[in-house]
Structure 1
Amino acid sequence: MAEAMPYVPRLADALIRDLLAELPALAIVGPRASGKTTTAVRHARTTIHLDRPAEAIAVAADPDAALRGLDEPILLDEWQEVPQVLGAVKRACDTEPRPGRFILTGSVRAETETQTWPGTGRVTRLEMYPLTAGEQYGSTAAPLVDRIAEALGDGPASGQPNRQNPAPDPKQSGLDPWTGLRVDAPSLPDYVNLAIRGGFPQAALTVGERARRHWLNSYVDEIVTRDASAAGASADASKLRRYFEACCLNSSGVTDDATIYGAAGIDRRTALAYRELLDRLYVIGDLPAWSSNRLKRLSRMPKRLMIDSSLLATVTGANERSVMRDGDLLGRLLETFVVAQLRAQATISEHRCSLYHLRQHHGRHEIDVIAELDAHAVIALEIKATASPTADDAKHLAWFRDETGDRFLAGIVLHSGAATVRLGTGIWALP
C-alpha cells in the first residue's frame, strides 16, 4: 500500500488556529480540490463527511442530535450537501457560543454570502486557495505585502525605510531579502513550469506530468458537468465548456463581456449566468478596477483571471516549449500565476488587503496589480518576463507614485531573475 503524502503546511494554518481560539464556527471556502478538507481535519477532533450518503442521511434525519455530544471542533465537510445542518450549527452557537465548536468546508461561494444565510453572525468565512509555490517548497513565510509594509511603514511617500525595519539589502548573499528565502536563481522556463503545474495539491505534488495533465483535464470536465449541476445551475455542458475556454484564453485580460460570449458563441444572458456560476464555483477570480478621485479616465472594467494558472495551461494545451514561443500566452500565464500567489497571501495578511488592477482608457498607463492595505496605502506591482529589469519596466509605477502621493507605499517589478534591485525612489525589482 502506498504511503500517504505528508501534510504540506498551509499559509492559513496559523490563522485557522487563532480564529478557532476565539470564534465558535469557521467556514473554510474555496475551489474544489484545493486542500480545504485536508487542512481542516488537522484542526478538528471530529469529522463528518456530508458527501458520503450514509453520514449525510444520519445528519439530515436529525441535525441537532447528530452534532450533540461530539468532540469539538466538529468538521462538517461539504456542508452544502445537507444544508439543514446550518440551522443546527446556528442553534448550537446561539445556545453555547464558546470558541472552537465547528469548522465547515465547501466549494460553493453563494450560500455563504446571502443575507439570509443562517450562519450570519455565527460563522466566520475564510477563503483558502490552491497551494502557492512557496507552500509547495515548504515555506509559510509572511505575505509579501506584509513584509513590504513592515519595512517601509514610516515613509510611504518617499520610499524611505523606517528605522526599526530597514529596507532589504540587495547584497545579502543567497537570500531574497524581502522573503528571507534562499534564491536558487530560477530561470524563466522554471517559472513557466511552476505556472503550468499550478497549485491543486493532488496534481502539483503527487503525480507526474502525464497523470497531472489527465487530472487537470478531468477537473475541467467535472466543472462544466457535475459541479455546475451540483451548484443548482441549469447549463448546457457544451456551451459552458466553450464559455469556460473563452475565459481561460482571456485570462489576465481586460476584456468586455461581448468579446467573451462572442468567442463562446452564446448570447449575453447565457454568458452572464455562466459567469456567475464560475464565480460561485471559485473557478474565476477577477481583479476589480482600482479608482481614486486623484486619477481621471480610469477604466472600470475588471481584469479576468482564472483562479489557478494550471487551468489556463490545460485549456490551451500549453507546455514549456509552446509558452516560450508565444509572448502573449507567456504574459497571460505568468500574470495568472503571480496573482494566484498574491490572492492566497491576501487572505492571511495582517492587513485588510484588497487586490485590484489599473488601466487608463486607451492603455496610456497600466499596472498589473495594486494591493490596497487597510483601504489606504497602496503597493503597485508589475509582472515582467525578464531577468534584467530596468527603470523602463517601472515607468508606470513611477507615474503612479507621483499621482498617489502619501498613499503610495512601494512599487514592485516582479521579474524572472534572482536579483533585488532598486529602480527608483520607492521602487524595487524583486525576484
Structure 2
Amino acid sequence: MIEQLLTHGRTGSGNGRDPVRLGAFFAAYALNSVRIVNDATLYEAAGLDRRTSRSYTRLLTDLGVIAELPAWSSNRLKRLARGPKRYIADTGLWGAAVGADVELVMSDGDLLGRMIDTFVANQLRAEAVVDPTRPRLHHLRDRDGRHEVDVIADLGARGLIAIEIKADSAPKPADARHLAWLRDELGQQFKAGALLHTGPARYHLSDRIEAIPICSLWS
C-alpha cells in the first residue's frame, strides 16, 4: 500500500513523481493522526509548501488513506476550535507509519488511546454511510482545550449523539464529564451520550449517558 502511494505521488506544481516528499508528508500526517493540527504544522514538518501539501491531501483522501472529521459548530456554544481532526484511515497502516507494533502500543497509554480512537472513528465513519438516519460526523473541542468530544453524530432537527472513546475497561461517571458538559449546555438537543470503552459491560453513567463496550458496534 505505502509503496503504491509513493509511486503514484505527484507534486502540487506538476513537476512529476516525488515519492520522497509524499512519504515525508504521509509520515507527518500519521504522527499527527487523532489530533487537531493546522495545515502549516503538516507541511512545515514535511518540508513542503502549502500548495503541494494540499495536493497530497487530496490524493491521499481520494485513495481512502486519510480522513478528516470536521469541527462541529453551534450558535449555542462559543469559542469552539474550527480545525478538523485528522486520521489515518486504517489502524494497521497508522501503526506501520509511526513504527508502533503490538508490544509498543500495549506499553504506551498514548499510543493505545490513539490506536483505539482511530479504529472506532473509522468504524463509525463506515457505518454512518449506511445508517438510515444519515448522521453527519464531527468532532468538538473548545479553543481553551477544557472540553473535547471525540465524535458528534449530528442528526439535524432530531438532535445529536455525542461519543467519547476511552481505552478503559470500566469507565466511571467522571470519565464522561465532557459528555455531561455538552448535555447541560445543549439541553434537549442532546439526545444521548455514549462512552465507548474496552470492557464487556454496558451500564448507566448519568442522565442520557451510557457506558457502552466498543464491541457493541457489531452486535
TM-score w.r.t. the length of structure 1 is 0.47
* 1:287 equivalent in alignment to 2:69: yes
The 2-side partners of 1:418 and 1:294 are apart by 36
Q: Which of the numbers 267, 290, 297 marks the counterpart of 2:79?
A: 297
Q: State the one-letter code of the partner of 1:295.
A: L
Q: CA offsets, 1:346-404, max 9 Å, x none? A: 01001121110000002011000111124542110111011110011100000101111
SS in 2 for 1:428: strand
Q: Which of the numbers 154, 174, 177 marks the counterpart of 1:372?
A: 154
Displacement of 1:268 after TM fit?
Answer: 2.1
Q: Which of the numbers 88, 97, 100 marks the counterpart of 1:315?
A: 97
Q: Which residue of 2 aligns with 1:224?
A: 6
The 1-side partners of 2:196 and 2:88 are apart by 20
Q: CA offsets, 1:292-336, max 9 Å, x none? A: 000000011000011111210111222221002222221211111
SS in 1 for 2:100: coil
Q: Following TM superposition, where does structure 1 have runs of at least 4 consecutive aligned residues deviating by more than 3 angstroms?
A: 226-229, 232-235
Q: Which residue of 1 aligns with 2:216?
A: none
**8 Å contact 1:352–1:374 — kept in the other structure?**
no
Instruction: Identify the structure with bigger relative contact order (alpha carbons < 8 Å, sequence gap 6+).
Output: 1
Q: Which residue of 2 aligns with 1:400?
A: 182
SS in 2 for 1:371: strand
Q: CA offsets, 1:215-250, max 9 Å, x none? A: xxxx11101213769xx9944110001101111111
SS in 1 for 2:105: helix
- Cα 1:419–1:411 change in 2 (3 A) is same
- Cα 1:301–1:233 change in 2 (3 A) is farther
SS in 1 for 2:144: helix
The 2-side partners of 1:303 and 1:322 are apart by 24
Displacement of 1:291 after TM fit?
Answer: 0.5
The 1-side partners of 2:131 and 2:15 are apart by 34
- RMSD over aligned Cα atoms: 1.7
The 2-side partners of 1:377 and 1:234 are apart by 47
Q: Which residue of 1 aligns with 2:29?
A: 247
Q: Which of the numbers 108, 117, 120 marks the counterpart of 1:326?
A: 108
- Cα 1:289–1:375 change in 2 (3 A) is farther
Q: State the one-letter code of the partner of 2:57.
A: R
For the pair shown, which has the larger CA radius of gyration, 1 or 2? 1
Q: State the one-letter code of the partner of 1:364.
A: R
The 1-side partners of 2:10 and 2:151 are apart by 30
Q: Which residue of 2 aligns with 1:335?
A: 117
Q: CA offsets, 1:183-230, max 9 Å, x none? A: xxxxxxxxxxxxxxxxxxxxxxxxxxxxxxxxxxxx11101213769x
**8 Å contact 1:289–1:300 — kept in the other structure?**
yes
Q: CA offsets, 1:58-93, max 9 Å, x none? A: xxxxxxxxxxxxxxxxxxxxxxxxxxxxxxxxxxxx
- What is the percentage of aligned positions where both structures have the same residue? 50
Ranges in structure 1 where 5+ consecutive residues have no aligned partner = 1-218
**8 Å contact 2:9–2:18 — kept in the other structure?**
no
Ranges in structure 2 where 5+ consecutive residues have no aligned partner = 214-219
**8 Å contact 2:173–2:205 — kept in the other structure?**
yes
1:12-411 counterparts in 2 under 5 A? Answer: 219-226=1-8, 234-374=16-156, 376-411=158-193
Q: State the one-letter code of the partner of 1:369.
A: V
